[in-house]
Structure 1
Amino acid sequence: MRAYRGELRKLTSLPSVWAAVAVGVLVPAALTFLNAKSAIAANRGGNVDLGFQELAFGVVGAVILGVVAVSSEYTTEGESAGGGRQITTSLTVVPSRRRLMIAKLAAVITTVAVLATVSSAVTLTNVEALLGDGAGTSGLVRLPGVVLYWVLTALLAFGVTLLTRNGILPLTVLILNTSVVTVTYLLTKLTPLAVFFPDLAGVRLFIRQVDLPVRLSPVAGGLVMTAWVAALLTAGFLVFTRRDA
């Protein structure tokens, strides 16, 4: 429990984490406002995924959290006042690498779950205020799917960063794929197997209308994404325990 509290304090002390919180809350809300206004102006309605599509973009905040939770141990932002890497101090305080990783994972899960819940509440409240008629509250049943997707995405980023020990590559690839050019979606035009990439499988947890060659159920999509996360975390943990800090 002490290690968990320490990791929570460490995580919330990072400026990049607060930037991730701002991105995770403000981006979906702003996109929802713009998209809802456009739908109203065009007299179009019936988009059952309004708000949820935007929350899929807001997951960038979860990506940042998952990456910096690991990369801060090896970069300048995570360095101690004495100039050494944070990972040295962390392993001095918590010598067990297994216990350190469990505490770090628990801190990430807690933080991202809270962030996803707050972001969803703000975004769906925005939808309700703009459209009314229960447009926002009707989607509350999908809220657990959003939270799970954000948490799994953060853990995916966490696992990749454990393997690379550098945040630049995971941040670049994952943020670009999530928000700018969805490479995995483009790959579905070449092969239906691309549907089983973790991001595309995971969005089925809360997105209802999808243009994909294979329609996974929410449960199947969640299981596929969980399998990816478990594999990456296992690989990352093995690498972390076997190489020098």
Structure 2
Amino acid sequence: MRAYQGELRKLASLRSVWASIAIGVLVPAALTFLNAKSAAARGGNVDVGFQELAFGVVGAVILGVVAVSSEYTVEGESAGGGRQITTSLTVVPSRRRLLIAKLAAVITAVAVLAAVSSAVTLMTVDALLGTSDFARLPGVVLYWVLTALLASGLTLVTRNGILPLVVLILNSSVVTVTYLLSKLTPLAVFFPDLAGVRMFVRRVDLPVQLAPVTGGLVMAAWVAALLAVGFLVFRRRDA
């Protein structure tokens, strides 16, 4: 419990985490405000708000990455002029316990962020269109949490936040590479982002339409595999 509380305090001390929270809450709501009425005019308002929440997962990506990468940043926000990992392992010598505490803190922070962002975005939809579907909110929360864990797992392997941030943010926002790949092969539907988004987005132009539960299980399997690799790397590497 102390290790978990310590990880939560570390997250709260990072300016980049607060930036990710702002992005995660404000971006989906702002995009929904801009897109809602035009989407309704086209008769495609079934996913208004939810498509924007899929884009807002960038906030969860940033949080998941910096939760791990901040441990290895020299002269970082919380490193006090050195690498935070040395202090962390001094306080919590068990790498297994430290990693579990860190991931638990990430899950807690992202779950709260996703719930708040979803509530704000869906209330925006309700105010603009007079309709909203809060029943899909658990799917959004789970998607954000799994995405953050995916980002943390990838950062555990790379030990650097730049590559995970570039790859995951670009794929979530600017150029959805996995979506483009789905035009070449239906197997791309089983990439974690395309599978996971089916938990709450109803209309997706994909060659294979996964059920929400199936999509969640596929994404969870990817996350479990990557975290397992990340844990092995974390245990074997020098601090």
Normalised TM-score (structure 1): 0.95
Q: Contact between 1:78 and 1:85, CA under 8 Å: does it hold in 2?
A: no
Identify the match of residue 206 of structure 1 among 197, 200, 222: 200
Q: Look up the equivalent residue of 1:50 and give its one-letter code.
A: V
* Pair 1:115–1:79, CA change in 2 (3 A): closer
Distance 2:207 2:77 in 1: 43
Q: Look up the equivalent residue of 1:14 and give its one-letter code.
A: L
Deviation at residue 44 of structure 1 after TM alignment? 3.5
Distance 2:209 2:98 in 1: 39
Aligned to 2:166: 172
Q: Contact between 2:20 and 2:63, CA under 8 Å: does it hold in 1?
A: yes
Aligned to 2:38: 38
* Pair 1:78–1:162, CA change in 2 (3 A): farther
Distance 2:224 2:69 in 1: 19
Identify the match of residue 115 of structure 2 among 114, 117, 120: 117
Q: Contact between 1:78 and 1:86, CA under 8 Å: does it hold in 2?
A: no
Aligned to 1:158: 152
Q: Contact between 1:51 and 1:124, CA under 8 Å: does it hold in 2?
A: yes
- SS of 2:76's equivalent in the other structure is helix
Identify the match of residue 191 of structure 2 among 189, 197, 200: 197
Distance 1:127 1:79 in 2: 38
Q: Look up the equivalent residue of 1:35 and give its one-letter code.
A: N
Deviation at residue 77 of structure 1 after TM alignment? 2.1
**Any idea what the Cα deviations from partners look like across 1:34-69, whole Å, max 9, x if unmatched?**
0013246xx344521000000000000000000000
Aligned to 2:79: 80
1:23 corresponds to 2:62: no
Distance 1:30 1:180 in 2: 17
Q: Contact between 2:76 and 2:82, CA under 8 Å: does it hold in 1?
A: no
Q: Look up the equivalent residue of 1:208 and give its one-letter code.
A: R
Q: Contact between 2:71 and 2:79, CA under 8 Å: does it hold in 1?
A: no
Aligned to 2:224: 230
Aligned to 1:184: 178
Aligned to 1:91: 89
Aligned to 1:5: 5
Aligned to 1:53: 51
Aligned to 2:101: 103
Distance 1:161 1:176 in 2: 16
Bigger mean CA deviation after superposition, 9-18 or 44-53:
44-53
Distance 2:139 2:199 in 1: 5
Deviation at residue 179 of structure 1 after TM alignment? 0.4
Normalised TM-score (structure 2): 0.97
Q: Look up the equivalent residue of 1:71 and give its one-letter code.
A: S
Q: How many residues align?
A: 238
Q: Contact between 1:163 and 1:239, CA under 8 Å: does it hold in 2?
A: yes
Q: Contact between 2:23 and 2:56, CA under 8 Å: does it hold in 1?
A: yes
Distance 1:226 1:46 in 2: 29
Structure 2: tracts of 5 or more residues without a match = none
Aligned to 1:239: 233
Aligned to 1:143: 137
